[in-house]
A and B are shown apart, each in its own frame.
Chain A
Amino acid sequence: MIVSKQKPFADILASLDGRSRVFLVGCAKCATVCKSGGEEEIWQMQESLTSAGKEVTGSVVIDEACHMLRVGRDLRTRKEMVEEAHALLVLACGAGVQSIAASSGKPTIAGADTLFLGNIRRFGQFEQRCSLCGECILTETAGICPVTVCPKGLLNGPCGGMDEGHCETDPEAECVWHQIYQRLKEQQATENLKKIAPGKDFSRMLKPGKLKLDK
């Protein structure tokens, strides 16, 4: 899922300066799970904005704010409330904000910062495990991604900062190459650690990404 985090309320208010009527948009998928823009957060935002003297003309929580067709459809069903507003405040990831901005024609305020593609460790705890690099090497690395979990993205083993299995950037964190080494040892496959990984093909992750499925 895409992990996002609501911006501080003061920053949101500053972005709404001079715009007294606001329509709120949330997302029923990722932003709901990470509590940046689900039903509950939309309701809380409505309360906070009202207390701050803003008028909330209405709200909608879209089932996948990144789905451009659904966004168009859902905003049309609340056409009047959207029309009345000076701005739309979107509590969703950057993909969601953009489909809403493209569909409404109104000034759109991004109310959340998009952080990463994350795994859910447990309720309310998210971790980045995949960098969307376009060239998956997990088969070689015991199912643990050094591109993402190593702060340097090193492909050939730990850097000189690793000691006793810890990462130089965060002594609390286990070095990803130590994790890979331990798992490969369990699988009796440390031979994998002898193969030199070539330089990564960064052309696989050139922006903007596009994919069109064959009919």
Chain B
Amino acid sequence: MISRLQQKLASGQFVITSEVCPPKGADCGEFLGKARVLKGQVDAINVTDNQGANMRIAPLAVATLLVREGIEPVYQITCRDRNRMALQSDLLGAAALGIGNILALTGDHISFGDHRQGKPVFDLDSVQLLQAISTLESGFDLAGNRLQGAPAFFAGAAAAPEAEPFELTLFKLQKKATAGARFFQTQAIFDPDRLAAFTTAVRPLSVKVIAGIILLKSAGMARYMTRHIPGLKVPDHIIAELEEASDPVAKGVEIASRLAAAARHHCDGIHIMAMGREELIPEIIKEIR
């Protein structure tokens, strides 16, 4: 089964994805409500995997709920909480449940989250996880045993276009491409020129680029994220814009749509992180749809 996201990217169409954070609890009503608002607006919805190392419902479960709703999920899977057996096992489960898009991640360190005394696993890293996905697709597991039915995935990986030194991150991106990444979903970008330079640098890898766009709801939130979210740095001029605005959320929407419109020329798609305000996504993407 080839995912719609894969089909659209392969045919050169611009894609829009978003994400909805799985609930902390078994009640997925609100989660599904937010996802339904986005149906028809975006091509796929990412479900995060214990985001920020905070324990939540399994992304595999909520991705399955999305499939039932006719919404295409991007199943985010991290190496922090599962060893190579559990990762492969969940991936096979995902395939059986009709989940085709995977975002293979290392995962934030457990010291950021709400279960700091837990054991961080990191049996594999993101490159090795991508290799595991390719191995499963070839009909075998990592131990070389033949599978009963090989899964087919559209696997992607994370990229940080604004991280320095870029050459060092580029070595890893090359490995991710070699290991089977077909798209890069970037960390939130704030500088379209940096994105353009990034896209040029990774072009030889023939990997699609989906640029991350974040909705900043206030200057305080922007500062907090800069301090606490690994790899995310909101520039001062954007914080100042939010600070001076009488309606910071409206300003945040304006900034996000501006960045999305500018990013559009430099990538194959955008990924909107609305931080709980998913109902504002249609407005953010209004001009680029």
Contact = CB atoms under 8 A, between A and B. Distances in A.
Interface of A: 151-165, 168-169, 177-178, 181, 190, 193-194, 196-200, 202
11 contacts: A155-B125, A157-B127, A157-B171, A157-B175, A164-B165, A169-B112, A181-B165, A181-B167, A194-B175, A197-B127, A199-B124
Given A161-B231, A197-B127, 11 more contacts: A152-B79, A152-B107, A155-B125, A159-B230, A163-B160, A163-B163, A163-B233, A168-B230, A190-B171, A194-B171, A199-B128
B107 to A, nearest CB: 8
A198 B179 CA distance: 11
Chain B CB within 10 Å, residue with most, of A193, A194, A197: A193
Contacts of A177: 168
A151 B112 CA distance: 12
Given A168-B109, A194-B171, A154 B122 contact: yes
B106 interface: yes
Interface string B108-127: 11011000000010111111
- By Cβ-Cβ distance, the 4 closest A-B pairs, closest first, are A161-B230, A157-B172, A168-B230, A156-B127
Contact of A178 (B108, B111, B158, B168): B168
Nearest to B127: A156
Nearest to B178: A196
Interface string B168-190: 11011011001100000001000
B109 A154 contact: no
B198 to A, nearest CB: 13
A158 to B, nearest CB: 6
Contact of A151 (B105, B111, B142): B111
Nearest to B176: A156
Nearest to A163: B163
A152 B121 CA distance: 8
B171 A160 contact: no
Nearest to A202: B123
A160 B122 contact: no
Contacts of B112: 168-169
Contacts of B142: 199
B109 A160 contact: no
A151 B40 CA distance: 41
A165 B106 contact: no
B125 A156 contact: yes
Nearest to B233: A163
Contacts of B108: 161, 168
Given A154-B106, A156-B125, A158-B172, A165 B165 contact: yes
Contacts of A178: 165, 168
A169 B109 contact: yes
A196 B111 contact: no
B230 A160 contact: yes
Nearest to A162: B163
B172 A156 contact: yes
Contact of A156 (B84, B164, B175, B187): B175
A168 B175 CA distance: 21
A162 B169 CA distance: 9
A152 B159 CA distance: 18
A196 B127 contact: yes
B171 A159 contact: no
B85 to A, nearest CB: 11
